[in-house]
Amino acid sequence: MNPLREGLQRQRVPEPCAMVIFGASGDLAHRKLIPAIYSLAHEGSLPPYFALVAVAVSDFTTESFREDMKKAVQEFSRHRPVNEAVWNNLAAGIHYIKGDFKEDSTFQQLGVLLKKIDVERGTKGNRLFYLSTNPSLFEIIPAQLKANGLTSGVGWRRIVIEKPFGRDLATAQKLNAHLQAIFGESEIYRIDHYLGKETVQNILVLRFANGLFEPIWRNQFIDHVQITVAETLGVGSRAGYYEEAGAVRDMMQNHMMQLLALIAMETPISLKAEQIRNEKVKVLQALRPILAKDVKSSTVRGQYSRGYMDGAPVKGYREETNVSPKSVTETFSCVKLFIDSWRWSGVPFYLRHGKRLAKKGTEISIFFKRSPDILFNAADSETPVDQNVLTIRVQPDEGVSLRMEAKVPEQQLQIQSVKMDFRFGGSSPEAYERLLLDTMIGDATLFIRHDEAEQSWAFFDPILAAWREDGGRPLPQYAAGTWGPKEAEQLLTNEARKWRRL
Ligand code: BG6
């Protein structure tokens, strides 16, 4: 284990609590939440007195749910093989309630069970509610918790809400108002798992723990910034959700806006949650709105068609199960935006994301301005030089690299780009481990505040509206396994720039 992390965790002992996962029989709980809880148990980071109540509509008993979750841990945990003693201890505190979220009886049963658990497991009335359900239940469950007396009493209450947080500004505002009528803002944890990724947290360290970067982190020295989140996966079995969402709602409005905010924010006056969130929201407030007339020239969307991934043929998006053959849901999007602040005035930020692209990778690249066109870049020079580029690789292969120009040894004067590359190495904890622990500790630094969610929607609403205006016109297609539609390349070549190759 990373000694720095170990050191930090020793100071971060969560209080006893009972965690309640609504929608616990779903994919997220299976692949991420339960394996993360097991990892925390394995590392001794869970509260000393802990219990987990799973509430869902599926046909499990406590026994069969425990068995199913053991399989999930065996398959998805980063601590394998499963340690029987650790699992048995954790499993003894796992309970399952089968119930309909619209029925009071489900919540009454939950209330009785939680009281019993407090006595048996010493969880002291502290409750962590986790909504891992379909978003249509994000208002119903908190209302049911309140109506059935589960939001008051001894101990603390916290609620974690999964994404998507609304589907536009109006729905996000409505959801915020609804939640804030039941919980205090400090009790609401809007989760964005990208913030739990080690390298994303490292952005703050890279920027503010090094004297080198901050002075040049501004428009005087930076030409432009590229943020890419490329996935090789297609829509898989999630078409029901994805058809309604698309690339902007699924990835850009949340994960990519968070990356942007961390890269572009001003120096916070401390590392306290509120200070960091204040600075992030200012970036979002300073985004220059993209007007309807500019949507075409500042954005690109696309849809994958048939192609090859790792040499094997794959379907086009419109041929996937549960996708309409006339679908106009984007599986690729790219946006050019500006932050109208003193620091970033005139610096374009290019964001792109797509499914079924050529390679999986999330990275942020800062392209610095070229050296003056005098010695090496002069018009008649035979030794043109490239820009310096600082790349933060969020995943996979987490690290940072810096592209520099250097003389080729022994040649008279030939210049070539070289890369200084640093890999973080080691086995990073899963994003959900860090974030779940933070919710138990009560640290909201890596969670999204109400105004961040709203500001981000305020930026994307006009783009989505302009796309809607286009009606059912087919989207630009790109073959699966390529880098997206040619329009995305064009967006940059029009400005004499190029996407960085991952
Ligand atoms: C989720 C999206 O939030 O993030 C998925 O809903 C996407 O569509 C996933 O595949 C990507 O997460 P990661 O951690 O694999 O980059």
Please give the pLDDT value at position 11.
56
The confidence score (pLDDT) of residue 412 equals: 79
Gap from CA of 251 to ligand 1 centroid (Å): 7
The amino acid that residue 177 corresponds to is A
Say how many domains are in the chain.
Answer: 2
pLDDT band at 472 (very low <50, low <70, confident <90, very high): confident
pLDDT tens by residue, 307-333: 999 999 999 999 999 999 999 999 999
- Ligand 1: centre distance to CA 237 (Å): 13
Looking at residue 9, its pLDDT comes to: 47
Q: Could you give the CA distance from residue 292 to residue 469 in angstroms, rounded to a whole number?
A: 10
Position in ligand 1 atom list of the atom nearest CA 362: 16
Q: For residue 55, which amino acid is it?
A: V
pLDDT digits (tens, 9 = 90+) for 48-75: 899 999 999 999 999 999 999 999 999 9
Count of beta carbons in the 10 Å neighbourhood of residue 147: 12
What pLDDT, in 10s, does the model give residues 243-284?
999 999 999 999 999 999 999 999 999 999 999 999 999 999
Q: Which two tokens stand for residue 492?
A: 């940059």
Atom in ligand 1 nearest the alpha carbon of residue 254: 3
- CATH code at 206? 3.30.360.10
> Using N-to-C axis directions, what is the helix angle for 140-147 and 104-121, rounded to 10°?
70
- What are the phi and psi torsion angles at 135 (to 5°)? -60, -20
Q: Please tell me if the CB atom of residue 430 comes closer than 6 angstroms to any atom of ligand 1.
A: no
Does 240 have pLDDT greater than 60?
Answer: yes
Q: Is 192 in the pocket of ligand 1 (CB under 6 A)?
A: no
Give the pTM.
0.93
155 and 202 inside one domain: no
Which of 84-98, 292-306, 404-418 is least confident?
404-418
Q: Per DSSP, what are the bridge partners of residue 349?
A: 225, 337
Question: For all residues of the chain together, what is the average pLDDT?
Answer: 93
- CB of 304 within 8 A of CB of 320? no
The answer to whether position 444 is within a domain reads no
Cα 286 from chain centre = 21
Q: For position 3, what pLDDT does the model report?
A: 37
**Per-residue pLDDT, 501:** 92
Q: How far away, in angstroms, is 334 Cα from ligand 1 center? A: 17
- Using most ligand atoms within 8 A of CB, pick from 28, 32, 165, 231 the residue to mutate for ligand 1: 231
Query: Is the CB–ligand 1 distance for residue 266 below 6 Å?
Result: no
Residue to substitute in 132, 134, 249, 251 for testing ligand 1 pocket (most ligand atoms within 8 angstroms of CB): 251
- For ligand 1, atom 6, name the residue with the nearest CA: 250
Domain holding 487, by residue range, is 196-371+451-493
Q: Assess whether 140 and 280 both reside in one domain.
A: no
Ligand 1 centroid – CA 48 distance (Å)? 31
- Over range 134-138, report the average pLDDT: 93
Do 66 and 213 sit in the same domain of this protein?
no
For residue 429, being part of any structural domain is answered with: no
For ligand 1, atom 13, the nearest C-alpha belongs to: 194
Name which residue sits closest to atom 9 of ligand 1, judged by CA: 251
Q: Is the model's pLDDT at 384 over the cut of 80?
A: no
Question: Does 148 share its domain with 35?
Answer: yes
Ligand 1 atom at minimal distance to the Cα of residue 163: 3
Considering the chain, what percentage of its residues have pLDDT values greater than 90? Answer: 85
- In a domain? residue 167: no
- Are residues 11 and 93 located together in one domain of the fold? yes
Look at residues 321, 353, 308, 311 and name the one whose alpha carbon lies nearest to residue 460: 353
- The stretches of 1-130 forming alpha helices (DSSP H) are 3-10, 27-28, 34-42, 62-76, 84-91, 104-121
Give the mean model confidence (pLDDT) for residues 450-476. Answer: 94
DSSP character string of 447-491: SB-HHHHHHHHHHHHHHHHHHHHTTTPPPPEEETTBSS-HHHHHH
Q: Does residue 231 line the site of ligand 1, with CB under 6 A?
A: yes
230 and 320 inside one domain:
yes
Predicted confidence (pLDDT) at residue 425 exceeds the cutoff of 80:
no
Question: Is the minimum distance from the CB of 232 to ligand 1 under 6 angstroms?
Answer: no
Residue 6 has pLDDT above 50, yes or no: no
Check 95, 255, 353, 450 and give the catalytic one: 255
Which three-class secondary structure state does DSSP give residue 452?
Answer: helix
Within-domain flag for 99: yes
Q: Is the CB of 250 under 6 A from ligand 1?
A: yes
Question: Average pLDDT, stretch 388-398?
Answer: 94
List, in order, residues 6 or more apart from 246 with CB less than 8 Å away.
301, 329, 330, 331, 333
Question: Which residue type occupies 501?
Answer: R
pLDDT band at 132 (very low <50, low <70, confident <90, very high): very high
Separation in Å, CA 244 to CA 304, 413, 454? 16, 56, 19
CB atoms within 10 A of CB 140: 15
- Per-residue pLDDT at 7 exceeds 70: no
Boundary of a domain, candidates 141, 162, 183: 162
29: pLDDT strictly greater than 50: yes
- For residue range 180-222, list pLDDT tens digits in order: 999 999 999 999 999 999 889 899 999 999 999 999 999 999 9
Ligand 1 center to 250 CA (angstroms) = 8
DSSP designation for 441: H
Q: Are residues 46 and 127 in the same domain?
A: yes
Strand order in the sheet with 17-22: 94-98, 50-56, 17-22, 127-131, 157-161, 188-190
What's the confidence (pLDDT) of residue 471? 82
Per-residue confidence (pLDDT) for residue 378, from 0 to 100: 72
Q: Which atom from ligand 1 is nearest to the alpha carbon of 250?
A: 6
Residue 30 known to be catalytic: no
211 and 325 share a domain? yes
Tell me how far the alpha carbon of residue 6 lies from the centroid of ligand 1, in angstroms.
27
- Minimum CA distance residue for ligand 1 atom 8: 250
CATH number of residue 13's parent domain = 3.40.50.720
Same domain, 148 and 247: no
- CA 395 to ligand 1: nearest atom: 16
CB 296 within 8 A of CB 468: no
Domain assignment of residue 442, yes or no: no
Whether 76 is in a domain gets the answer: yes
Is residue 382 over pLDDT 80? no
